[in-house]
Each structure stands twice: as structure tokens, then as C-alpha cells.
Amino acid sequence: MIAVAALRRPARSETGDPLLLTPGPLTTSKSVKEAMVHDWGSRDAAFLALNRQVMERLPEVVHGEGRYVTVPMQGSGTFAVEAMLTTFAPKHGRVLVLVNGAYGQRARRILEIAGRRVVLHETPEDTPPDLAAVDRILAEASEITHVFAVHCETTSGILNPIDDIAAIVARHGKRLLIDAMSAFGALPLDAREGPFDAVAASANKCLEGVPGLAFVICLREALAGTEGQATTLTLDLFDQNKAFEKTGQFRFTPPIHVIVAFHQALEEFWAEGGVAGRRGRYSDNARVLIDGMRALGFRTLLTDALQAPIIATFHTPEHPNFDFQRFYDSLRARGYVIYPGKLTVADSFRIGCIGRLTAEDMRGALEAVRETLIDMDVDLAGAR
Ligand SMILES: Cc1ncc(COP(=O)(O)O)c(C=O)c1O
């Protein structure tokens, strides 16, 4: 039965903005944004102390304290991925790139531009890497020095089996480089269990800072062996780290306000219980969202076993009245910003579960979806 949707006040964040149900930039807390209202000198002791605190604690997120060092990189997440790949992949090595989405493809492109040789293992966007095939490739191709994997491939929201990948890579004596951009801080990654040389992430995903700073957490002894390997001046992690060791300072202008906001975001991250706390809240968000969308008649791309609690991909309904732009605009008017799909194989859209959002926000979003379907005269659940 179709009821007429009642008009309600649009949902808003603490600062009166629409809620971002996206893979980032995300909705952040008011206190994180408020941290940015001051000016700091980039060589001033107060800022340097704060920056040091940010860098020092990050390896704890992956249980790498002592053995790993954080090397921050100005820019978006891709800057950190490019810095990691072009610093760690040696000129005469070869990198096995595991691809099941756009971010694996991007890594391949970065390596090719840098003139690094690549071997691809590609699976469809809804399929994790074939571990037996990875094992075989590593056994046969002795010139492979490094393996690159994406922890949560945000293209679909799929959770790749990073611990199993790490175990296989270690068994073959190869080195692992991880893009954990959309997973870091919410999905467990343990350097004691599954060894890796470096993991790239950013301030503005599950750590709920603002965009503009990325970082690579590097195994100290592996980073020490990368001198002279980088293909650019700006993205040279060895050099960036050397400057920190020598002066405690960035080589080039740091995004000061972003770092101060990140410091506040990390305080809130630890206060929420670190990875366990954040994973708990995002898992609740994802559960409410996915169950609710299915009840409304939408189909997820992934089965629950493959779904990370980060972002969910839904097939675009084939109903003749369903129009994605109208759907998007109507949700936006109700205070919820969603994301178009990025799949190559199917028409889809995505709804994110990360950022300063609660299960209550997800229930609000579901109500907005329900009202929008009514407005568009699309009855998906009834049509099944
Ligand atoms: C897994 C993954 N890698 C890399 C990136 C690139 O990050 P950015 O868009 O900040 O450059 C993203 C962005 O969503 C991502 O999800």
C-alpha cells in the first residue's frame, strides 16, 4: 500500500550540514571542525609537538608501535598510495598487484607511470582475490619483490582477506604494501599477525578527520632500505621521514589546520575505544542500512560474508519509474548525501556507513529512502 509521505525537517549534522553517507570526505564532529579556527606556525614548537603526537600514536592502530614509523604526506589518499608504491617498489623489482576495483587499477597505473614492472591478478569487483592463484603466481615468478593489496576495495565495499594475503606473501619471502584507505581505524589490521612493509591511509576516512593529509605507516627496517628509490621529490617517503628525524618538521608546507583537526579526531577515536569502538558503531550502521534497504526491495551487490561495514553497493532498481538523479536529489533535500556507483559491471549506487553517523542516522536515511520511493511511485518490495 502506498501512503503519502509526510514532510519532515531535513536531517542535519551537529553543524547544520547534510549528512554525508559517502566514502569520504565524511561528516565530522563539530569539535574536529572547531579545532581549525586557530593559526599555527609550521615551525613553531606548539605545532610540532602536536604533529609529533599525531604521528607517534598512529602505529598503535595496527599494533606496530616501536617497529613502524608514521610518515605523513600532504594531500589526498592517492598521494600516500603513490608515495608508498614509488618509494618501496625498487627499480628492478616487480610488483604483483591484486585488483578487484578502481583502487587496485589506480595502483597499477601509478606503478606503470613510475616505470615499475607489474604483474596483475584481477578478479571481478564482487570477488576477492583467488588465494590459490596468488600462491601459484608467487611460487612461479621469482622476480616479484612486492605485492600490493587493497584492504577494503571501496569501489564495491568488498572486504579483501588481508590476513590470508599477508600470510601467503610472507611464506614466499615477498614484501606486502597495503592500501587501507577506507578501512584504517575500523577494520582490524595487525602487523604482529600479518606482516607488511607499509600501509597507506588518510585522515579523513574512518579516523574522521578532515581531508588534506594522508600517511604511510612504514616498517622502519624496510623504509631504511628505500633511499634513492623514489621517482619524485615530493612523494619520497625516505626523504620525508629523514626530515622528521632530523628536524621534526615537514619538508614542505604542512596542512596545519588539517593536522590540528586530525589531532582532535584521534582523541575522539581513542575515546570511542579505537578500532573496536569504531568498528562496532560502523557495523551497527551497516546492519541497519543493509537490512532496511533489503526490506524496501533493494538488492546488495555483495553477500554479507564479503561486505565490509564501510560502504554498501546497491543495484539500481530496474523499475521504470526509478530515476537515480531524482532519487539522489530527493535524499539530498531530506538531508542525506549518497554516492553514485563506481562499478564497471552493473548499474549501481553506494551508501556509506562511516563518519560521524549513528544507527539512528541510518534509520533516518531509510525513512528518507522510503518516502522517496513513494514520491517516485516505485514499489520494489511489493513487486517481488
Ligand atoms: C581504497 C581507496 N584507496 C585510495 C583512495 C583514494 O583516496 P583519495 O580520493 O583521497 O585520493 C580511496 C578513496 O576513496 C580509497 O577508498
Q: Report the distance separating Cα 36 and Cα 40, nearest Å.
A: 10
Same domain flag for 186 and 257: yes
The answer to whether the beta carbons of residues 184 and 199 sit under 8 Å apart is: yes
Helices (H), 211-323: 220-224, 237-247, 256-271, 274-295
Evaluate whether 309 touches 285 at the Cβ level (below 8 Å): yes
pLDDT on residue 345: 76
**320 and 193 in one domain?**
no
Q: Is residue 12 part of a domain?
A: no
Distance 273 CA to ligand 1 centre (A): 25
What local confidence, expressed as pLDDT, does residue 324 receive? Answer: 94
In a domain, 55, yes or no: yes
- Ligand 1 centroid to Cα of residue 78, in Å, is 6
81 lines ligand 1 (CB under 6 A): yes
Shared-domain flag, residues 263 and 278: no
- Ligand 1, atom 15, lies closest to the CA of 181
Ligand 1 close to Cβ of residue 215 (< 6 A): no
**Cα–Cα distance measured from residue 203 to residue 205, given in angstroms and rounded to the nearest whole number:** 6
If pLDDT is split at 50, 70 and 90, which confidence band does 382 have? low
Query: Does position 173 have pLDDT exceeding 50, yes or no?
Result: yes
Identify whether residues 235 and 364 lie together within a single domain: no
User: What element of type H or E holds 66?
Assistant: none
Going from the Cα of 253 to the center of ligand 1, the distance in angstroms, rounded, reads 22
Whether 277 and 263 map to the same domain: the answer is no
Query: Is the domain of 278 the same as that of 223?
Result: no
pLDDT tens-digit map of 337-373: 999 887 777 899 999 999 999 999 999 999 999 999 9
From 271, 293, 323, the end of a domain falls on 271
Contact 114, 139 (CB under 8 A): no
* Band of pLDDT at residue 4, cut at 50, 70 and 90: very low
Q: What per-residue confidence (pLDDT) applies to 340?
A: 85
Tens of pLDDT, residue by residue over 19-54, are 999 998 999 999 999 999 999 999 999 999 999 999
For ligand 1, whether the C-beta of 103 sits within 6 Å is yes
- Domain span at residue 190 reads 34-271
Ligand 1 site, residue 179, Cβ cutoff 6 A = yes
Confidence category of residue 6, pLDDT binned at 50, 70, 90: low
Residues 241-248, mean pLDDT to the nearest whole number = 96
Q: What is the mean pLDDT of residues 212-226?
A: 98
Mean pLDDT estimate for the chain: 95
Which atom belonging to ligand 1 lies closest to the Cα atom of 76? Answer: 10
Closest listed residue to residue 108, CA positions, set 126, 92, 95: 95
Cell 574512518, located at residue: 206
- Is the beta carbon of 77 within 6 A of some atom in ligand 1? yes
Q: Give the pLDDT score at 7.
A: 59
Chosen domain end from 271, 303, 337? 271
CA neighbor of 327 nearest in space, from 310, 344, 340: 340
Contact (Cβ atoms closer than 8 angstroms) between residue 182 and residue 310: yes
| SS3 sequence of 15-54 | CCCCEECCCCCCCCCHHHHHHHHCCCCCCCHHHHHHHHHH
Residue 5, pLDDT > 70, answer: no
Instruction: Tell whether 282 is covered by a domain.
Output: yes
Per-residue pLDDT, 58: 98
Residues 341 and 325: their CA atoms lie apart, in Å, by 12
Rounded average pLDDT over 290-303: 97
Q: How many structural domains compose the chain?
A: 2
Q: For the segment 305-340, what is each residue's pLDDT rounded down to a tens digit?
A: 999 999 999 999 999 999 999 999 999 999 999 998
Q: How far apart are CA 316 and CA 313, in angstroms?
A: 9
Q: Does one domain contain both 208 and 314?
A: no
* Residue 2 reports pLDDT greater than 80: no
CA 332 from centroid of its chain's CA atoms: 23
Looking at residue 86, its pLDDT comes to 98
Residues 62 and 95 in one domain: yes
Residue of 22, 99, 103 to mutate, ligand 1, most atoms within 8 A of C-beta: 103
Whether residue 240 is found in the same domain as residue 281: no
Final residue of a structural domain among 216, 246, 271: 271
* Res 228: pLDDT: 96
Identify the burial level of 58 via C-beta atoms within 10 angstroms of its C-beta, where 0-12 means exposed, 13-18 middle and 19 or more buried: buried
Residue 335's CB is within 10 A of a number of other CB atoms, namely 20
Q: Which atom of ligand 1 is nearest to the CA of 154?
A: 16
Span from the CA of 214 to the centroid of ligand 1 (angstroms): 10
CA–CA gap between residue 215 and residue 262 (Å, rounded): 12
Burial class (CB in 10 A: 0-12, 13-18, 19+), 338: buried
CATH of the domain at 379: 3.90.1150.10
Cell for 337?
Answer: 548525501
Whether residue 79 is predicted with pLDDT greater than 90 in this model: the reply is: yes
pLDDT class of 3 with cuts at 50, 70, 90: very low
Mutate to test the pocket of ligand 1, among 22, 73, 153, 154 (most ligand atoms within 8 A of CB): 154
Same domain, 264 and 277: no
Asked if the structure places residue 354 within a domain, the reply is yes
Residue 225: all three cell numbers together:
632500505
223 has pLDDT over 90: yes
Residue 5: inside a domain, yes or no? Answer: no
- The DSSP element (H or E) to which 230 belongs, if any, is none
* Ligand 1 centre distance from Cα of residue 128 (Å): 18
In a domain, 238, yes or no: yes
- Ligand 1: atom nearest CA of 155 is 16
The answer to whether residue 14 is domain-embedded is no
pLDDT recorded at residue 195 = 92
**Are residues 51 and 97 both part of a single domain?**
yes
Which atom of ligand 1 sits closest to the CA of residue 103? Answer: 3
Query: In angstroms, how far is CA 375 from the centroid of its own chain?
Result: 34
123 in the same domain as 203: yes
Does residue 4 form part of some domain?
no
Whether 100 lines ligand 1, by a CB cut-off of 6 Å, is: no
Average pLDDT over residues 157-178: 98
Which CATH number characterizes residue 139's domain? 3.40.640.10
Q: Is 28 in the pocket of ligand 1 (CB under 6 A)?
A: no
Beta pairing, strands 213-219 & 311-315? unpaired
223 Cα: distance to centroid of ligand 1 (angstroms): 23
C-alpha span between 247 and 42 (Å, rounded):
12
Q: Which of 5-14, 100-109, 153-162, 176-185 shows the lowest mean pLDDT across its residues?
A: 5-14
Return the residue whose CA atom lies nearest to atom 1 of ligand 1. 181
User: Does 182 sit in the ligand 1 pocket, CB within 6 Å?
Assistant: yes
CA 66 – CA 146 distance, rounded (Å): 23
Residues 94-139: tens digit of each pLDDT: 999 999 999 999 999 999 999 999 999 999 999 999 999 999 999 9
Mean pLDDT of 206-221: 98
